[in-house]
Amino acid sequence: MSDKRETPLSTPSLQEHHCTVDLRLEKLGMVPFFQDLPEEQLREVNKKCTANHYSKGETIYRQGDSATMLRVVVAGNVKLAAHTLEGESVLLDMLQPGDFFGNPTARGRDVYSETAETQTSACILSIRLSDFREVMNRYPSVAMAVLDITTDRLNESRQRIQHLSTLPVTKRIAHILVTLGNKFGEKDSRGLLIQLPLSRKDLADMAGTSPATASRIMSQFQNDNLITSGRQWVAINNKAELLRISAK
Amino acid sequence: MSDKRETPLSTPSLQEHHCTVDLRLEKLGMVPFFQDLPEEQLREVNKKCTANHYSKGETIYRQGDSATMLRVVVAGNVKLAAHTLEGESVLLDMLQPGDFFGNPTARGRDVYSETAETQTSACILSIRLSDFREVMNRYPSVAMAVLDITTDRLNESRQRIQHLSTLPVTKRIAHILVTLGNKFGEKDSRGLLIQLPLSRKDLADMAGTSPATASRIMSQFQNDNLITSGRQWVAINNKAELLRISAK
DNA sequence: GTACTAAATTGATCCAGCTCATTTTAGTGC
DNA sequence: GCACTAAAATGAGCTGGATCAATTTAGTAC
């Protein structure tokens, strides 16, 4: 198994295009809630956006910062995390190109309730809240699409509350692996590879457990041939069985 | 303290007006996202609504039912809960007059992911999803108000995830009491009375713990004179201290 | 006031998962 | 290939909170 001797994760090479206008426009059109916008309007929205490039591990904003921007992932991955005073962290969401984050809410004096950090190098579009509000006002379909996504996220979030309250750690982790597989998985010689740097600590922060426990459970899954994993990467070999574990 | 010998909770007497058209219209105007609608439009929306009266403990819809309605609490209280196959339940939200529930999302084939049940006798307005979508399309301010509320709920929900993952039960319950006090509290001879039937089981389902543990913690709070409580009711005597406990 | 019932309290025991500490190993860079 | 480093694995011991079961009590109905 000498092929396990290097990260199977592909690193997005952003240097080349570095968020060109064309790429921005193309990606903007891919964002679910801009899809219905006519080409012309899209260009106008694009003009109001700023593109920023971040390298891996950079902080985009911190919880407590005043929330004046709505952001969209153009390329790369972003994770949203909340930190307690004691230094513990909770991983709230992992984002893909096309996902928005920040606060789409009107209330002016709002602050972010989470910290956004890149997990890979990434290109991020920012649009001022007031500008975005204007777009939503002019195109109700945009507002409704944002509402739909937010509602989905609320439901996911409530499901997670349910899991934290009722399921033992093993089931929670099995469920998380399946979910990540569905969202970030790519078929590969190793199985369904989760295209995302993913440490035991990340997993623990998602499952509400300790890194040690997450590690023990992953070891067990590995013994049972359900997954293959190395440092910061995981591939799923038997999704059906993981699903079964998470449910029963 | 002979006055503790009966529920201090006031029961909404709905029989009298029984959701008259006037009451409906008045309440509809109080709903945050209809506030901006011109009187005339409000009447039109009202025509598309159906009012239903429920007595205490009735189920409005069950998780898994197909989600074709958006609902608004006119009077009384509603709780949203999710149930596991093993019969455990998680309390997701407690609603007040003016709050909406159900699914504001477009996707036709959706089902409710939670069960809605009245906690007191209640009057509920229902509007078909397609009709509500139409209103949002015509009045973007409505869509944006719904989005704002949903975003707030998402943030609350994420905070709860954080608490479940990082705080011990005592702090979680202290926090829940403060929150409920802020939302449902009414000044009273006993202190800040939470105007809501609230059992130890409800509290446990909110905090992600067992009724026994919830009870032990409530006993301790009672010993420390932070709260006064009987069956299904709680009054807060020292909110500041509870807040301190929940934070530190 | 008395009887009744479901809620709440409380005790005793147990274990899933945490903590802390040590060892091993995957992946990188030379 | 070799050296280096941070991630992961793993062992040992401890504990917060669960579970189960018995007892008490608040509130209601008569």
Domains of chain A are 21-164 (2.60.120.10), 167-247 (1.10.10.10)
The answer to whether the CB atoms of B158 and A157 lie below 8 A apart is yes
For A62, the 3-state DSSP assignment is coil
Residue B167 φ/ψ region, left for φ over 0, alpha for ψ in the -120 to 50 degree band, beta for the rest: beta
Instruction: Spell out the alpha helix ranges (H) of A108-210.
Output: 129-138, 140-166, 169-184, 200-207
Inter-axis angle of helices A169-184 and A140-166, to 10 degrees?
150
The pLDDT, as a whole number, for residue B108 is: 60
Q: Which DSSP category does A2 fall into?
A: G
C-alpha dihedral sign at B14, B17, B18, B23:
negative
Which residues of chain B neighbour A141 with C-beta distances below 8 Å?
Answer: 137
Print burial letters for B171-194: b (CB count within 10 Å at least 16), e (below 16).
bbbbbbbbbbbeebbeeeebbbbb
- The answer to whether the beta carbons of residues A83 and A134 sit under 8 Å apart is no
Distance B181 CA to D25 C1' (A): 25
Q: How far apart, in whole angstroms, are the C-alpha atoms of residue A53 and residue A193? A: 26
The pLDDT, as a whole number, for residue A27 is: 75
The answer on pLDDT for B4 being more than 70 is no
Indicate which of B89, B144, B171 best probes the interface with A, i.e. most A CBs within 10 Å of its own CB. B144
Q: What distance, in Å, lies between the first and last C-alpha atoms of chain A?
A: 33
The pLDDT, as a whole number, for residue A214 is: 98
C-alpha dihedral sign at A166, A168, A174, A176:
positive
Q: How far apart, in whole angstroms, are the C-alpha atoms of residue B36 and residue B29? A: 8
**Least confident segment among A18-32, B33-47, B103-117, B164-178:** A18-32
Place of tokens 């992911």: B113
pLDDT, mean of residues B59-76: 92
- Band of the pLDDT at A4, cuts 50, 70, 90? very low
The pLDDT, as a whole number, for residue B25 is: 76
Shortest Cα distance, chain B CAs vs residue A241, angstroms: 19
Q: How far apart, in whole angstroms, are the C-alpha atoms of residue A16 and residue A110? A: 36
CA B16 to chain centre: 23
Question: Is pLDDT larger for residue B179 or for residue A107?
Answer: B179
The answer to whether the CB atoms of A151 and B104 lie below 8 A apart is yes
Q: How far apart, in whole angstroms, are the C-alpha atoms of residue A215 and residue A220? A: 9
Structure tokens at A216: 């023990």
pLDDT, mean of residues A32-36: 83
pLDDT tens, B110-165? 899 999 999 999 999 999 999 999 999 999 999 999 999 999 999 999 999 999 99
Name which of A90, A92, A140 is nearest B166 (Cβ-Cβ). Answer: A90
Amino acid found at A57: G
Strand D and B230 CB separated by under 7 Å: yes
The pLDDT, as a whole number, for residue A11 is: 65
pLDDT, mean of residues B76-81: 96
pLDDT tens, A199-231? 999 999 999 999 999 999 999 999 999 999 999
The pLDDT, as a whole number, for residue A2 is: 37
pLDDT, mean of residues A105-132: 89
The pLDDT, as a whole number, for residue A14 is: 53
pLDDT, mean of residues B64-92: 93
- The answer to whether the beta carbons of residues A201 and A211 sit under 8 Å apart is yes
The pLDDT, as a whole number, for residue B43 is: 87
DSSP annotation string for B172-206: HHHHHHHHHHHHHEEEETTEEEE-S---HHHHHHH
pLDDT-above-70 percentage for chain A:
92
Place of tokens 């928005």: A100
The pLDDT, as a whole number, for residue A205 is: 98
Amino acid found at B2: S
Distance A236 CA to C18 C1' (A): 27
The answer on pLDDT for A172 being more than 50 is yes
Name which of A90, A103, A144 is nearest B151 (Cβ-Cβ). Answer: A103
The pLDDT, as a whole number, for residue B35 is: 83
**Least confident segment among A82-86, B47-51, B96-100, B106-110:** B106-110
Q: Which DSSP category does B9 fall into?
A: P
pLDDT tens, A141-152? 999 999 999 999
Structure tokens at A207: 């499952």
| CA proximity to A139, closest of B158, B138, B227, B64 | B138
The pLDDT, as a whole number, for residue A1 is: 37
Q: Which helix (H) or strand (E) holds A237?
A: none
Which residues lie across from A157 on neighbouring strands? Answer: none
| CA proximity to A10, closest of A94, A123, A121 | A121
- Measured CA angle at A236 (ends A90, A247), to 5 deg: 70
Q: How far apart, in whole angstroms, are the C-alpha atoms of residue A100 and residue A129? A: 12
Name which of B147, B158, B164 is nearest A113 (Cβ-Cβ). Answer: B158
Q: Give me the numbers of helices (H) and strands (E) for chain B, helices first please.
A: 8, 12
If you average pLDDT over each of B15-24, B43-52, B209-218, which comes out highest? B209-218
Print burial letters for B125-154: b (CB count within 10 Å at least 16), e (below 16).
bbbebebbbebbeebbbbbbbbbbbbbebb
- The answer to whether the beta carbons of residues A147 and A153 sit under 8 Å apart is no
The pLDDT, as a whole number, for residue B42 is: 87
The answer on pLDDT for B13 being more than 80 is no
**Least confident segment among A19-33, A153-167, A231-245, B29-43:** A19-33
The answer on pLDDT for A6 being more than 80 is no
- Band of the pLDDT at A13, cuts 50, 70, 90? low
The answer on pLDDT for B2 being more than 50 is no
Shortest Cα distance, chain B CAs vs residue A209, angstroms: 7
The answer to whether the CB atoms of B144 and A106 lie below 8 A apart is yes
Structure tokens at B210: 């067992």
The pLDDT, as a whole number, for residue B1 is: 36
Q: Which nucleotides of D are covered by protein (CB under 7 A)?
A: 7-12, 16-21, 26-28
Which residues lie across from B111 on neighbouring strands? Answer: B66
| CA distances to B99, B101, B136 from A145, in Å | 21, 18, 11
- Band of the pLDDT at A37, cuts 50, 70, 90? confident
- Band of the pLDDT at A19, cuts 50, 70, 90? low
pLDDT tens, B177-217? 999 999 999 998 888 999 999 999 999 999 999 999 999 99
Q: How far apart, in whole angstroms, are the C-alpha atoms of residue B94 and residue B184? A: 10
- Band of the pLDDT at B103, cuts 50, 70, 90? confident
For chain A, the average pLDDT equals: 89
| CA proximity to A198, closest of A189, A183, A75, A187 | A183
